[in-house]
A and B are shown apart, each in its own frame.
Chain A
Amino acid sequence: EVQLVETGGGLIQPGGSLRLSCTASGFTVSSNYMSWVRQAPGKGLEWVSAIYSSGSTYYAESVKGRFTISKDNSQNTLYLQMNSPRAEDTAVYYCAKYYYGSGNYYFDYWGQGTLVTVSS
């Protein structure tokens, strides 16, 4: 059974740093595309970042240069390093697994989310 479990959320001060983790089971992170998606309180979904099986990484403009996505294949875990966070980064952060089918990618599994609150 595929499972994604996010940890590491909490209260962080503006300008600080925080690392989110997403531990996967039932599949291997190394051979899949993975992503982080966030949702600010009462708002819609915002794609944040992706890492492909090749190691290529992609970021939304809103986090580029501040957040870093990475993975540890030995731990089967995805990470999101959040540096210099701002109040507008306050959100529930979900990790999601891509599925490739019919010539298209989509998110077939999601974690339960972890809340990050940026406040002094």
Chain B
Amino acid sequence: DIQMTQSPSSLSASVGDRVTITCRASQSISRYLNWYQQKPGKAPKLLIYTASGLQSGVPSRFSGSGSGTDFTLTISSLQPEDFATYYCQQTYSTIITFGQGTRLEIK
């Protein structure tokens, strides 16, 4: 199975900060990489698809980049509602795998 490793596992930041989360795949996955946001007690929500596509309704402060094995999710200016856990997901393989998550906390 393809292993997905996110870094950091947790992150403290302030409103207005620029934040970057990294996701690395154990093998090349082209651009078959998606990002989700999850808040406590809620289902995950799709933010970014195919490495850099912004899902409809998601604010433009969210952006994604990368290809092959290395990917990033960037939040350009953190808002209070952005404090949540973020997961990357590879869909290159029929056996889908997620990263372990990055918990974004208020500093």
> A75-113: which residues lie under 8 A (CB-CB) from chain B?
94, 101-108, 110-113
Q: Report whether B49 and A101 are in contact in the complex, using a CB–CB cutoff of 8 Å.
A: yes
Closest to A113 in B: B43
Tell me, yes or no, whether B50 is within 8 Å of chain A by CB: yes
- Is the CB of B72 closer than 8 A to any CB of chain A? no
* Contact of A50 with B by CB under 8 A: yes
Residues of A within 8 A of B94 (CB): 50, 58
Interface range for A: 20 to 34
Q: Is the CB of A106 within 8 A of B95?
A: no
| Given A35-B96, A44-B98, A46-B98: A106 touches B43 (CB 8 Å cut-off) | no
Closest-CB distance, B44 to chain A (whole angstroms): 6
Interface membership of B53, Cβ < 8 A: yes
CA distance A46 to B3 in the complex (A): 12
Q: Which residue of B lies closest to A110 (CB)?
A: B43
Q: A45 at interface (Cβ–Cβ under 8 A)? A: yes
CB distance from A110 to the nearest CB of B (A): 4
